[in-house]
Structure 1
Amino acid sequence: MLTEFLRDQFFTTAWFGLMAFVWFGWSQESPDQRWRVWLGAGSVLGIGIAVAFGILTATNWDQPTALEGKYAWFGVLTVAEVVAAGVGCLLLSRRGASRWMAWWVALVVAVHFLPLALLLNDLGVAAVGLVQLAALAVVARRLRTTDAPSSRSAGPVMGATLLLSAAIGALLAVPGA
């Protein structure tokens, strides 16, 4: 992304690759027939980036990080994200609106990128969150006209934005390796 901390660059790139893999996987819950190959290809690319940059993260773990002195806040943000996603999904399930769960989790993830960008001192992370929020607003309008699970639309949006961000992160990080 856009950080001066090499370790954070490697880790964010690896994490975005892994999460692209996860979102493309969730997309395959009920995919459009024409998208299946692309969703699979996105998963493979995401996990490849995750492995490569996971190794770079591990071998550069002794490098400085923007999170130094902020680990407690990072933990609070992570717990808040997980609780918000879980409680929202529980409420959606109880209301018979389970098909919205993927969209809800995607929304929580996108929103959490905004304070995370402050913790990481990385405006690139905020940009990803803002793009995702805009795309999820469009997805929400489309979901109101169908009974399909939201993973069909939210998954590809999240997977694609995270994979693209991981690819950009990889290009920016490689000269630093």
Structure 2
Amino acid sequence: MLTGFLRDQFFTTAWFGLMAFVWFGWAQEDPPRKWRIWLGVGSVLGLGFAVAFGVLTATNWDQPSALAGKYAWFGVLVAAEVVAAGAGCLVLARRGASRWMAWWVALVVAVHFLPLALLLNDLGVAVVGVVQLAALAVVVPRLRAATTPSSRPAGPIMGATLLLSAAIGAAIAIPGL
């Protein structure tokens, strides 16, 4: 989002859009009726960013990236994220606490943005992670008192922060065209 690498800017914007689509989709597991249209709108907007900036990423692939020479570390980080999310969900399922899975995955994703920001030389990615972590912490007491799936608060938190970040990324990237 705040990188000096145009290709990375395009890719991050596209990826955040795609992940906003995914999180708004997960939030549709059990939303209050009045949220449904907004979750759908968020999904469509996220997909729009993903497609538009995915094309820009592809057409600018020959541009430099902050990940040059660090692809192995990027792979390690993504693998660690997937393992942590999967292992946590397995533990939650075995403990009969599967309603917490969305919150757990959201927590892992938010935490992974911190080292990712270092790899990408992009402070904006760290800011997104910190905001997500704070918001996820705020909803814990409400989740403990509820019986609804954690996707109800976690999906909109993640979707909204990622969609807003994609919009900021787009606003920053477009003048670089």
Distance 1:32 1:117 in 2: 34
Distance 1:49 1:79 in 2: 25
Give the equivalent residue in structure 2 for 1:76.
76
Distance 1:57 1:70 in 2: 19
Distance 1:176 1:97 in 2: 46
Give the TM-score normalised by structure 2: 1.00
Where do 5+ consecutive residues of structure 1 fail to align?
none
Give the equivalent residue in structure 2 for 1:115.
115
Give the equivalent residue in structure 2 for 1:145.
145
Letter in 2 for 1:145: A
Give the equivalent residue in structure 1 for 2:16.
16
Give the equivalent residue in structure 1 for 2:100.
100
Letter in 1 for 2:158: M
- How far does residue 140 in structure 1 lie from its aligned partner after superposition? 1.3
Distance 2:173 2:141 in 1: 36
Distance 2:114 2:142 in 1: 25
Distance 1:65 1:72 in 2: 14
After TM superposition, what 4+ stretches of structure 1 lie above 2 angstroms from structure 2? none
**CA deviation string 1:45-103 (max 9, x = no partner):** 00000000000000000000000000000000000000000000000000000000000
Letter in 2 for 1:106: A
Give the TM-score normalised by structure 1: 1.00
| Matched pairs, number | 177
Distance 1:167 1:79 in 2: 27
Query: Within the alignment, does 1:136 sit opposite 2:119 as a pair?
Result: no
Give the equivalent residue in structure 1 for 2:176.
176
Give the equivalent residue in structure 2 for 1:157.
157
Query: Within the alignment, does 1:85 sit opposite 2:97 as a pair?
Result: no
- How far does residue 139 in structure 1 lie from its aligned partner after superposition? 1.4
- How far does residue 146 in structure 1 lie from its aligned partner after superposition? 0.4
Letter in 1 for 2:63: Q
Distance 1:100 1:69 in 2: 37
Distance 1:141 1:40 in 2: 27
Q: Residue 147 of structure 2 aligns to a residue in which SS?
A: coil
